[in-house]
Amino acid sequence: MQPLPHHYTVTASLSDSQVTLSSPGLDAITSDAPAEFDGPGDVWSPETLLAAAVADCFLLSFRAIAGASRFRFVEINCKVDATLDRLEKVTRFTQLNIEPTLTISDPAETDKALKLLAKAEAACLVTNSLNAEINFKPSVNS
């Protein structure tokens, strides 16, 4: 890992009705308001991008922790349900339900798997940067 601080640059450009998001060396993506805010609902929105960032960060944190622990797994998926609400006249994300499902081949490794999942949840820099209630509900299948 490179020494901190790290810097990430994104440029957002508005043309017609959609936003194009770009960052050096990455493919551009299109964004618009979600259907709940009268957007088309068929492209990524800031709201879905935030939920995706939480899921992505969790999985990458788990991969790093599992690798450092020499823990082998078959597959991992992560569902994030983000709740946007209005509290004290401010619209913000109030709750994130993070539900990873880890598949392992050896049922005897279930306790270790749950500990590593918890470590990944604690290490996720995205959720650590947000002011929302975090509900973590991991499951392990073998």
Give residue-wise pLDDT tens across range 93-130: 999 999 999 999 999 999 999 999 999 999 999 999 99
Joined tokens for residue 34: 């979600």
Residue 13 pLDDT > 90: yes
pLDDT at 4: 96
Whole-angstrom distance, CA of residue 112 vs CA of residue 134: 22
What is the rounded CA–CA span in Å between residue 31 and residue 39?
10
Instruction: Catalogue all structural domains in the chain, each as residue range(s) with its CATH number.
Output: 46-141 (3.30.300.20)
Instruction: Encode pLDDT of 43-83 as tens digits.
Output: 999 999 999 999 999 999 999 999 999 999 999 999 999 99
CA Rg, the chain, in Å? 18
Taking the C-alpha atoms of residue 118 and residue 100, their distance in angstroms, rounded to an integer, is 10
Portion of the chain with pLDDT greater than 90, in percent: 97
- Interatomic CA distance for residues 76 and 83, integer angstroms: 23
Q: Is the pLDDT of residue 92 over 90?
A: yes
How far is 116 from 62, CA to CA, in rounded Å?
Answer: 7
pLDDT, residue 16, reads 81
pTM for the structure as a whole? 0.94
